[in-house]
Amino acid sequence: ALYGYTLQEARSAMNAIGIVLNVIGTVPVNDPDLHSKVITANPPGGSWLEPGSTVSVELGRYTEPGGGGGEGGGGEGGGEDG
C-alpha cells in the first residue's frame, strides 16, 4: 500500500516494479504530517498489476484551520414610547 508515502517514495517504489504512477488530484487532510503524501490509490494496495499498469493516486492537502469569525453584533433595540 502506498498510503503515507511521499510522491517521490511512491514513484520510486512503483517504478521499481514497472508501474506508472499518476497523480490525479489532492484531498483535504486534517493532519499536517499527511500533506503531500499519498492518501488514496486506485487500484487499491494489494491489487495484482501487470508491469506497465498505471496506479492513480491523490495526495493530501493540509490547510491550517482558519480563525473563527468575530462575535456578531446584536443591537440594542429601542422603541419610542408614545
pLDDT in tens, 20-46: 999 999 999 999 999 999 999 999 988
Q: Which helix or strand (DSSP H or E) is residue 41 part of?
A: strand 38-42
pTM of the model: 0.74
Could you tell me what percent of the chain has a pLDDT over 70?
Answer: 82
Maximum Cα interatomic distance, the chain, rounded to a whole number of Å: 88
Which DSSP state fits 18?
A: T
Percentage of the chain surpassing pLDDT 90?
Answer: 71
For residues 46-70, average pLDDT: 88
Q: Which residues contact 34 (CB under 8 A, 6 or more apart)?
A: 4, 60, 62
Residue whose C-alpha cell is 503515507: 4
Residue 37's Cβ-count burial label (10 Å; 0-12, 13-18, 19+) is buried
